[in-house]
Each structure stands twice: as C-alpha cells, then as structure tokens.
Amino acid sequence: MTARTPIREVTLILPMAPDMEIVASQAASALAGFVGMSADRVDEVRMAVVEACINAFEHSHAVERRVDITFRLFGDSAGPERLEIRVHDRGVGFAPERVEVPRLEEKLRGDRKRGWGLKIIQGLMDEVEILSGSQGTTVVMSKSR
C-alpha cells in the first residue's frame, strides 16, 4: 500500500454481533461517495467491507469479540482520491498464503459452497494486503476514485 498522510480518518469499533457488518458497510458507502466514486465503485467497496467483517466475525476466534475498522482518505488540496480501509481483529491469525483458492467446479460439486471471501475482496478492490499473526489479522484494502 502507498504510504502517505491521510487527509481524513474515521475509526469504528464494532462488536461481533449480528448485522454489525451492515454498520461498517454504511460507513464505507458514505466515505466512498465522499471520495467521488461512481455508484458501482461504492457498491464494490461496500461489498468488500462486508466480506472482510464477516470473515473476522466467523474465523478470528477473537476473545474480545470486536473488530476495529479504520477508514483513511488520501488526496491533496483538491480533495480525496483514494479510500483505504483496515479491518482488524485480535484473533488467532492465519497464514494467508495457505488459503486455498476456490475452484468453481469443485465448489459446485462439493457440500461446502463457502470460502470465497478473500477472492471476492481481491476482485472488488484495487489493492489488498493481508497481515496476520498471533496478534490478529488486518485486511488492508484500498480503492481509488
């Protein structure tokens, strides 16, 4: 991810509770719109945030049962140009390089249809980085106007 100083930053701390991903998606939509993204790009950001939150809720096994989401706007005096979103849990972590890439044919034939979250996020956002270890996981994703 490109390192620059954000021109604006918003942080949400969400409990791992039903429908909290919707709260995150609403914030993501508002900020993506503020950046000046098209309606399609706003929807892509919103869906990526929902996927990242659901992954954290379901797979982190975080004792604190919360997710920290930081939205950062980057740009210059003319206004924001890029939205970066960090979804962080304090769970057990995982090895991103060991996540099996889903294969459509196998998923259709198999009993387990799930497992598309990371692939979806990567397809929806311009940049995605996954930082994970014993202190938790952070999905860093960004999209430009």
Residue 97: per-residue pLDDT = 82
Residue 44: per-residue pLDDT = 98
Give 37-88 pLDDT, tens digit per residue: 999 999 999 999 999 999 999 999 999 999 999 999 999 988 899 999 999 9
Burial grade of 1 (CB within 10 A; 0-12, 13-18, 19 or more): middle
Tokens representing 58 are 């379901």
Selected residue with higher pLDDT from 134 and 117: 134
As a whole number of angstroms, the distance between CA 132 and CA 87 comes to 11
Strand partners, 110: none
The CATH homologous superfamily for domain 8-144 is Histidine kinase-like ATPase, C-terminal domain (3.30.565.10)
As a whole number of angstroms, the distance between CA 134 and CA 108 comes to 33
CA atoms within 13 A on the CB side of 137: 23
- Tell me: pLDDT of 2 over 80: no
Q: Where are the domains of the chain?
A: 8-144
